[in-house]
Amino acid sequence: MWPMIETGAWVLSALFALHMVWDWYKTDSTYSEDVLTSSREGEIEAMTEQHKL
């Protein structure tokens, strides 16, 4: 039984890795770098909590 589970673990690992790499390629080729790296820290915070006493 355990040799089969070992093989299953190799296969699942490969599937998870391939899915991430495929999605990474798809995302990077669909969206511009400007959009993907547009995040700035604390922007929602800037709108909702203005630290007024």
Q: Find the binding residues for another protein in span 8-37 (CB under 8 A).
A: 9-10, 12-13, 16-17, 19-21, 23-24, 27, 31, 33-37
Dihedral Cα 16, 21, 22, 24, nearest 10 deg: 120
- Kind plus residue range of the DSSP H or E element containing 20: helix 2-30
Q: Please, what is the minimum distance in Å from the beta carbon of residue 8 to another protein?
A: 8
CA 38 to chain centre: 16
**Amino acid residing at 40:** R
40 binds another protein (CB under 8 A): yes
Which residues make up the interface to another protein (CB under 8 A)?
A: 1-3, 6-7, 9-10, 12-13, 16-17, 19-21, 23-24, 27, 31, 33-47, 49-53
